[in-house]
Chains A and B, each alone.
Chain A
Amino acid sequence: MTFGWWIRNPARRRQRKALFESWVDDHANALFGLAYRLCGDRELADELVQETFFQAWKSMDRLRDETRAPAWLMAILRHCYRRAMRERARHRAAHEAVATDENAGRAHEVDPATDLAERDALQRALDRLDDRYKVVFLLVNVGGLTCEAAAAELNLPLGTVLSRMHRARRQLRQWLEAPNAQPVSHSRTKANDAGPTLRLGGEA
């Protein structure tokens, strides 16, 4: 079945559109919250959510079980987030290279704290959090997934998810109490932690 088939089948399209709009009503706010907590940037979060729903509309046929829609949408969002972060890192690297060539150090004159000061303390702490912990923590606390569901979505053992939740919580608590504290060393105290491999939604 191709996407064009929907257009040529108005009844089918209406049905799909109604489903899509129900997703917007039910999940858009939560997805925006998750996107914002992931990237700490409202504009980028807005773009991520729009890209998520755009991809969702185009690939609705791939979702066999509609009850999985929330997790599926979050998987698309994580995929979009990962891509956005890659692009941002590339852009930043290119920008810094130019700044170094033209006027060494000038690129750092803009104090990131000015931007950060406008965010809430919790978001500032989240921004400092390693993506491995942040994604798990947000999927459960903002996305509303159970730890088992998050483990399934991220293709991680439940123990790893619980361990990352625990570390994220402890790290956030530390930064909220002492914002200038250095990150806790993420030494592997548990054998079942998947380590530094970043899995953000390759299954999207």
Chain B
Amino acid sequence: MNQDQREQLRQAMEEAVSLPADHPRRREVLGQIEGAGDWARTYWAELLGDEEQRRLELRNVPAPEGLHERLRAIPDQVDAAHRRHWPMQYRVAATLAAACLVLAAILAANLRSESPSFEQAVQHVANLAVDDHFQRPELSVATSDPAHVASRLQPHVTFAIDVPSMDHALSLIGGRICKFDEHPIAYTRWREGERDGKKHSVYQFRAADFDLPEQFMPVRIEVPAVPGRSPAHEVLVWSAGECAYVMVCEEAVPPAGDSMAANFR
């Protein structure tokens, strides 16, 4: 066997040493080794020893501490990240929904905060006045002296109380303070004619508290009946300066109502 043939066999042995023992190629090389002499058998034995030693040496790599624990934690970490992903989507949806609700609430509040129309404002105070009138409230001050009534009521309101002296048709009985929608109202009660005459109520308040203009002529407002509280009724509403007034008569507003109202201006 010349040098080239030896080199070829060495290469064949180095390739075959990696093959399983029963591999045909390895068995073929083993046959060549048998025929090549002692040097080949020695080389093959050294190769096998080196191969095994190298394999052991290569595999001798201690794993870092905690590697298995870190690897075992992967499924939970991945799934937790996945779960966090979904709630985030839900959170975004919820945030958008909440934002829409807030927007809707703001719009609604804006709509509500817008000044009601004149008719609505007048109707509102008329309704409140009729309701109060038919409850026949107690008077806190009973006197026919307008100045005395004004002085007793004035400390409770921020506007100047105007109690006119009417020497004809109506006479003052007394007054009190009440509230419409938490706004202070100066209430005076009047009698038409003699002692058993019809009772009329006059409510005085700041026009701005009920979104009413500061100056408008008396208007007649029909108030529908409220079962158990008040019958259908008609009232006069007007304003003069910063104050507005509602006059509720015991029955329908008399034709002279407008002139009566004029006394308050």
Contact = CB atoms under 8 A, between A and B. Distances in A.
B61 A32 contact: yes
**Interface on chain B toward A: helix, strand, loop, or mixed SS?**
helix
Contacts of A21: 72
A23 to B, nearest CB: 9
A7 interface: yes
Interface string B25-56: 10000000000000000000000001100110
Interface in A175-201: none
A100 interface: no
A169 B11 CA distance: 11
Contacts of A172: 54
A46 B71 CA distance: 10
B33 to A, nearest CB: 16
Interface residues of A, number: 41
Contacts of B14: 165-166, 169-170
Which range holds the interface residue count of chain B? Answer: 20 to 34
Nearest to A36: B61
B75 interface: yes
B57 A24 contact: no
B78 A54 contact: yes
A57 B75 contact: yes
A3 B68 contact: no
A46 B58 contact: no
A138 B60 CA distance: 13
Interface of A: 3-4, 6-7, 13, 16-17, 20-21, 24-25, 28-30, 32-33, 36-37, 42, 46, 49-50, 53-54, 57-58, 122, 138, 140-142, 146-147, 162-163, 165-166, 169-170, 172-173
A33 B78 contact: no
B15 A3 contact: no
Given A33-B58, A33-B59, A141-B58, A162 B75 contact: no
B79 interface: yes
A17 B75 contact: yes
B112 interface: no
B58 A37 contact: yes
B18 A4 contact: no
Contacts of A33: 58-61, 63
Contacts of B51: 169
Interface string B202-225: 000000000000000000000000
B19 A20 contact: no
B70 A146 contact: no
B83 A140 contact: no
Contacts of B86: 4
A32 B74 contact: no
A111 to B, nearest CB: 25
Contact of B63 (A3, A29, A147): A29
